Amino acid sequence: MDDAHNHLQSPQLTSIASSLMSWAPPLGIARMVVNGTKESDWHHVAELAAAHPSIIRPAFGLHPWYLNQRTTHWRDVIEQQLVAYPKASIGECGLDRWIHDHDIDDQQKVFREHLALAVKHDRPITIHCLKAWGALVDTLQSATKLPRGFLVHAFSGSIETAHQLESLGAYFSFSGYFLHERKGTICETYSQLPIERLLIETDAPSMPLPEEHNRFPLPPEEDEIPVNHPGNLVVVRDALAKLRGMDTDELDDQLRMNFSRLFGK
């Protein structure tokens, strides 16, 4: 299995990251894309990739929540990391109208720079989008087509939007967070998407599963926010197999091919 999107570098997962080889291979987790979100965590992502090159695929990007923390040379630093790590991708980046006091114009400016890097360096890119689907489609349509395609992680838009994004090269990753009862409509969308365009993710330590599905509970943070263990990828895979009416071995083979097509072998 391959986790298409997580944040193993997060402080909440320090002990999990340090014991990676003791739990990931036994669970059948072969590869994971670890996404940076701001300049201050990129070196942690790089350190993990250097320590576990067979499992961790690093990704470097500016999440729209943290754009006000960026320096003037952020793009140069990403390029340095892309050169240092040939299997690295770009992300997490994107557009978000859900956050308070968002500046969509600034978000689009920075997002376009990420897209340009993906074209220049022939790398896949991982996109975050909340309540900005029209702006995302417009931005992608007006940009140079991404040669390697892109992942819309934890896609939660409509099936119509999915079809628009698919025509532009999108893949979509299913999250265990969608197992919450109120997310039934999103699960229905994933039952209709082309199987060749699907991946699975945990987004650990974020997007926790419902308590009854959480196979690897971790102590919550001080503000009592649940912490999602990346080992829950097994639960996500099983849930998607059930949703698609597929045998888990058959689904594993398909997801493995999809991951390799987007992120490389």
Read off the tokens for 101: 């006091």
Look up the domain containing 166 and give its range.
2-263
Could you tell me the pTM of the whole model?
0.97
Is the confidence at residue 143, as pLDDT, over 90?
yes
pLDDT at residue 224, as a whole number: 78
- Structurally, the chain folds into a number of domains equal to 1
pLDDT at residue 221, as a whole number: 77
Chain centroid to CA 119: 19
Model confidence band, residue 225 (pLDDT cutoffs 50, 70, 90) = confident
CATH code for the domain of 137: 3.20.20.140
Model confidence band, residue 98 (pLDDT cutoffs 50, 70, 90) = very high
pLDDT at residue 130, as a whole number: 97
Q: How far apart are CA 182 and CA 220, in angstroms?
A: 22
For 151-195, write each residue's pLDDT tens digit: 999 999 999 999 999 999 999 999 999 999 999 999 999 999 999
Distances (CA, A) of 35 to 47, 115, 172, 204, 230: 13, 16, 16, 10, 13
Mean pLDDT of the region 37-42: 98
Mean pLDDT of the region 102-122: 97
Is the confidence at residue 46, as pLDDT, over 90?
yes
Residue partners of 46: CB distance under 8 A and separation at least 6: 58, 81, 84, 85
